[in-house]
Amino acid sequence: MQSESDKDQEGSLFPIDEHEELVSEGGQKVRRRGIYLLPNLLTLGALFAGFYAIIAGMAGNFNEAGWAIMIAAVLDGLDGRVARLTNTQSAFGAQFDSLSDMVSFGVAPALIVFSWALSSLGEAGWAASFIYMSCAALRLARFNVQLGTVDKRFFVGLQSPVAAGLVTFAVWVGSKYQIEITPTIAFLTALLTSFTGMLMISNFRYYSFKEIHFRGTVPYVVFLLVLVLLVVIAQSPHEVLFSMCVLYACTGPFIWLYRLPKTKARKSGDH
């Protein structure tokens, strides 16, 4: 006697199982078939941009690699918000997004920075790249298991898209100004790559901006500030985007240092 899944496969045009997942609707568990198109198309676009960044970086075209990482970051920021706005969130989308992030913000930056400077360091170079890539994987795994258990206003550890920007945009700027890869530059790049990886798995808290609701209203001056920021980025995208990543990456340690005296005082009071 054939099972229901066997019958579905025989009646399908292609020998590919239809995706099914259990969801809660009206307090009951129901089985939903298929995947949502729009948010997963955005995730697929981010995955393609990350893959293209790898190809461009290995070919020595670091300008295109930098643009591809930026596009991947924009699409990665959109897919989740689009899913929430259109009520098309799913377990499949969450897993697909995480795998896409690993390629675009884990593997791609590690290979790009290795192709630009770290290859000249030999084993130390690929070790620094591997540290970054493994930290990205650990960061994404920790984020997945902490969903729904941490304060949504903050991320624990530097987000992988910002970390990818910090590493890749450094290469972007260096390539633009044709900086010669000396042993000193290669060593500093290895330190930046490794340190960025450590920031991803740290306990530093970073503001998530998830409290910003696009359906709501904002003061008129906020809209003007966004307009000015876009104009500034358009004038010097390499330098401005890299500077923004550096400043944001520094906010985690600064918040930790600011809260440190309060934390010590609270622990002293407990004793």
18 in Cβ contact with 72 (< 8 Å): no
Q: Measure CA 5 to chain center.
A: 36
Q: Rounded to two decimals, what is the model's pTM?
A: 0.85
Say which CATH architecture domain 36-211 belongs to: Up-down Bundle (1.20)
* Closest alpha carbon to 56 in 43, 69, 47: 69
86 confidence band (pLDDT: 50, 70, 90)? confident
Least confident residue range of 81-85, 104-108, 194-198: 81-85
73 confidence band (pLDDT: 50, 70, 90)? very high
Query: Residue 130 above 80 pLDDT?
Result: yes
Contacts of 29 (CB under 8 A, 6+ apart): 22, 23
Q: How many CA atoms lie within 13 A of 188 on its CB side?
A: 10
Least confident residue range of 35-39, 100-104, 123-127: 35-39
Q: Alpha-carbon distance 185 to 195, whole Å?
A: 15
116 in Cβ contact with 57 (< 8 Å): yes
Using DSSP bridges, classify how beta strands 28-33 and 20-25 pair: parallel, antiparallel or unpaired: antiparallel
Range 95-111 average pLDDT: 95
pLDDT of residue 108: 97
Using DSSP bridges, classify how beta strands 20-25 and 205-207 pair: parallel, antiparallel or unpaired: unpaired
Range 225-246 average pLDDT: 92
Range 239-265 average pLDDT: 89
Q: Where are the beta strands (DSSP E) in the chain?
A: 20-25, 28-33, 154-156, 205-207
61 in Cβ contact with 25 (< 8 Å): no
Question: For the chain, what is the mean pLDDT?
Answer: 86
Query: Residue 216 above 70 pLDDT?
Result: no
Q: 182's torsion region: left (phi>0), alpha (psi -120 to 50) or beta?
A: beta
2 confidence band (pLDDT: 50, 70, 90)? very low
pLDDT of residue 109: 97
- pLDDT per position as a tens digit, 172-208: 999 999 999 999 999 999 999 999 999 999 999 998 8
pLDDT of residue 29: 65
Structure tokens at 241: 């985007």
pLDDT of residue 54: 97
- The domain spans of the chain are 36-211
For tokens 């493994």, the residue is: 134
pLDDT of residue 198: 96
* Closest alpha carbon to 64 in 83, 49, 75, 84: 49
Q: If DSSP codes are grouped into helix, strand and coil, which group holds residue 184?
A: helix
Q: Give me the residues paired with residue 32 across strands.
A: 21
Residue 207 DSSP label: E
More reliable by pLDDT, 216 or 60: 60
- pLDDT per position as a tens digit, 17-39: 666 666 555 556 666 666 778 88
pLDDT of residue 146: 76
With 0-12 / 13-18 / 19 or more C-beta atoms within 10 angstroms meaning exposed / middle / buried, residue 97 is: buried
pLDDT of residue 23: 59
pLDDT of residue 214: 61
Range 133-161 average pLDDT: 86
More reliable by pLDDT, 152 or 41: 41
Contacts of 234 (CB under 8 A, 6+ apart): none
Q: How many CA atoms lie within 13 A of 168 on its CB side?
A: 38
Range 250-254 average pLDDT: 93
* Closest alpha carbon to 201 in 107, 128, 135: 135
pLDDT of residue 36: 77
pLDDT of residue 37: 82
